């Protein structure tokens, strides 16, 4: 019913989303379709009682029990689809939810909360907008038993510390610095556009966007030239205007981070292949930017940029590049590109991340868990794995 309700308001919500987040309207509509899909996928899930052991004297049953009130705290890049993923798992498991959207993007989530009044009994789905202190208050509240947080690593760490005082359960979906590793047998013509979108979808404001691109010497110049052409032909502008392919950064703070990282890369010898500047128009627009002649040890490569700037790193030794790709505290996703599928698979197996996509743009499936290793997160969303995170186990051991 929730999915049907949202579907009947799809365009209204998408327009709000574009206006508060910045993404092009067709992409906001796509996000809303993901919301509907996530709700429908969740409605198919269940965790029935399982009999673990049974004989003449004993039966041991395993029950999945709801935790109570789940706080769902979300960031500003995909506000509604992230809330839907976390909240739907919590609700299907029998919890109630309090959703706290980002202060930068509260409106589409509030709208969804308002129309959910017709679907759920009072108090089951709550949306409270506010600044960071509202999120902090929620994480300290004694009635909250579960915190599903999606956002930055420092905030995730702060929440884990607060949660520890009361041993609240946490699922933390945090930042990434995903490498894309192109192998020396890759077909550059075939993969260039996919790699472009890996990095520039939602103007780079995507947790599993490609944030470092490793290219072997033999393919480097060809791939860089193709990416340059793609970047220079992008229509960057107001998301409400038809034809717009990339919107602005969501907020001034993020624009400043991007400007700083680009300046720092230039200072350390980075060559701007294209872009490199804020656009000369009102709003937080930054040109799609490619930077070569950079490597680990500078901020743009070591940190999560979360914007339309891609560092391209030339390499000659594959084992060395796998080690460099892993030499970070982050481990959300990664992509590997090559014609020899077996070799690409072997490389994928050596990457320290929650997900690796081979020869394709990252996409999430309701049938696969998603989350980070190392500092990129704790726990998983998606499918039965996400549902289990919203429950506590109870063993009932019956003497017959």
Distance of CA 354 to the CA centre of its chain: 12
198 is catalytic: no
Cβ contacts of 158-164, under 8 Å, gap ≥ 24? 159/73, 160/378, 162/136, 163/139
Q: Who's near 229: CB < 8 A, 6+ residues apart?
A: none
- The tokens for 349 are 């197996």
Shortest separation between residue 111's beta carbon and ligand NAD, angstroms: 17
Q: How far is the C-alpha of 219 from the C-alpha of 216, rounded, in Å?
A: 6
Determine the 3-state secondary structure of 116 from DSSP.
helix
For residue 173, indicate whether it is catalytic: yes
Interaction mask 184-223, ligand NAD, x per CB under 6 A = -----------------------x----------------
Choose the binding region for ligand NAD from 61-69, 148-156, 320-328, 392-400 (rule: CB under 6 A): 148-156
Phi-psi region of 269 (alpha: psi -120 to 50; beta: other; left: phi over 0): left
By CB under 6 A, name the one of 135, 237, 270, 308 that touches ligand NAD: 135
Strand, helix or coil at 355? strand
By beta-carbon proximity to ligand NAD, the closer residue of 171 and 292 is: 171
- CB under 6 A: which stretch of 174-182, 221-229, 276-284, 290-298 binds ligand NAD? 174-182
Please give the Cα distance from 54 to 51 (Å, whole number): 7
Calculate the alpha carbon distances from 346 to 219, 319, 341, 349 in Å.
20, 11, 9, 5
Based on the shown chain and the rule CB under 6 A, indicate whether residue 21 belongs to the binding site for ligand NAD: no
* Stretch of residues binding ligand NAD (CB under 6 A), selected from 12-20, 70-78, 343-351, 383-391: 70-78
Q: Which of residues 287-306 bind ligand NAD (CB under 6 A)?
A: 304, 306
- Residue 307 touching ligand NAD (CB under 6 A): no
Backbone angles phi, psi at 292, to 5 degrees: -110, 180
* Residue among 73 and 224 whose Cβ is closer to ligand NAD: 73
Q: Which of 31, 198, 207, 304 is catalytic?
A: 207
CB atoms under 10 Å from CB of 297, counted, come to 8
Q: Which residue has the tokens 């590109």?
A: 337
How many residues of this chain interact with ligand NAD, rule: CB under 6 A? 30
CB-based contacts of 306, cutoff 8 Å, min separation 6: 77, 175, 204, 205, 209, 254, 257, 258
Is residue 100 a contact point for ligand NAD (CB under 6 A)?
Answer: yes
3-state SS assignment for residue 227:
helix
Among 173, 198, 304, 389, the one annotated catalytic: 173
Contacts of 230 (CB under 8 A, 6+ apart): 192, 193, 196
Measured from the CB atom, the residue of 219 and 332 that comes closer to ligand NAD is 332
Q: Tell which one of 102, 287, 335, 391 touches ligand NAD (CB under 6 A).
A: 102
Residue 73 binds ligand NAD (CB under 6 A): yes
176 near ligand NAD (CB under 6 A): yes
From residue 340 to residue 379, what is the string marking binding to ligand NAD with x (rule CB under 6 A)?
--------------------------------x----x--
Q: Which is nearer to ligand NAD, 73 or 231 (CB)?
A: 73
**Contact region for ligand NAD (CB under 6 A) — 99-107, 220-228, 241-249, 259-267?**
99-107
Decide if 59 contacts 53 (C-beta within 8 A).
Answer: yes
Nearer to ligand NAD, 86 or 292 (CB): 86
Residues tagged active-site: 173, 207
Kindly list the residues in this chain that would bind ligand NAD in the complex (CB under 6 A).
73-77, 82, 100-103, 132, 135-136, 139, 150-152, 155, 158-159, 173-176, 207, 304, 306, 332, 372, 377
């Amino acid at each position: 019913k929730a999915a049907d309700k949202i579907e009947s308001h799809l365009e209204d919500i998408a327009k709000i989303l574009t206006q508060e987040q910045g993404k092009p309207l067709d992409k906001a509509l796509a996000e809303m379709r993901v919301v509907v899909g996530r709700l429908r996928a969740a409605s198919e899930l269940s965790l029935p009682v399982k009999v673990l052991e049974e004989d003449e004297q004993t039966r041991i049953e395993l029950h999945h029990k709801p935790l109570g009130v789940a706080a769902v705290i979300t960031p500003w890049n995909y506000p509604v689809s992230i809330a839907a993923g976390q909240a739907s798992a919590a609700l299907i498991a029998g919890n109630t939810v309090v959703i706290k959207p980002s202060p930068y993007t509260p409106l589409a989530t509030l709208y969804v909360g308002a129309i959910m009044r017709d679907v759920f009994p009072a108090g089951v789905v709550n949306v409270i907008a506010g600044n960071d202190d509202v999120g902090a208050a929620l994480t300290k509240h004694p009635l909250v038993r579960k915190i599903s947080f999606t956002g930055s690593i420092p905030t995730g760490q702060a929440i884990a510390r607060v949660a520890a005082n009361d041993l609240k359960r946490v699922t933390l979906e945090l930042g990434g610095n995903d490498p894309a590793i192109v192998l020396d047998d890759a077909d550059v013509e075939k993969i260039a556009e996919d790699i472009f979108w890996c990095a520039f979808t939602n103007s780079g404001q995507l947790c599993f966007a490609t944030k470092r691109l490793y290219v072997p010497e033999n393919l480097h110049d060809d791939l860089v030239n193709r990416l340059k052409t793609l970047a220079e032909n992008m229509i960057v502008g107001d998301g409400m205007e038809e034809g717009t392919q990339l919107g602005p950064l969501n907020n001034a703070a993020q624009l400043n981070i991007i400007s700083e990282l680009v300046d720092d890369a230039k200072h350390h010898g980075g060559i701007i292949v294209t872009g490199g500047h804020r656009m000369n128009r009102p709003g937080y627009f930054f040109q799609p930017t490619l930077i070569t002649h950079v490597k680990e040890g500078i901020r743009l490569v070591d940190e999560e940029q979360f914007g339309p700037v891609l560092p391209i790193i030339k390499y000659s030794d594959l084992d060395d590049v796998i080690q460099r790709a892993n030499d970070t505290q982050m481990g959300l996703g990664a992509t590997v590109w090559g014609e020899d599928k077996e070799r690409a698979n072997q490389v994928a197996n050596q990457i320290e991340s929650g997900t690796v996509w081979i020869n394709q743009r990252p996409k999430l499936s309701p049938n696969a868990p998603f989350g980070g290793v190392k500092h990129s997160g704790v726990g998983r969303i998606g499918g039965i794995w996400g549902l289990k995170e919203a429950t506590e186990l109870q063993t009932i051991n019956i003497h017959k």
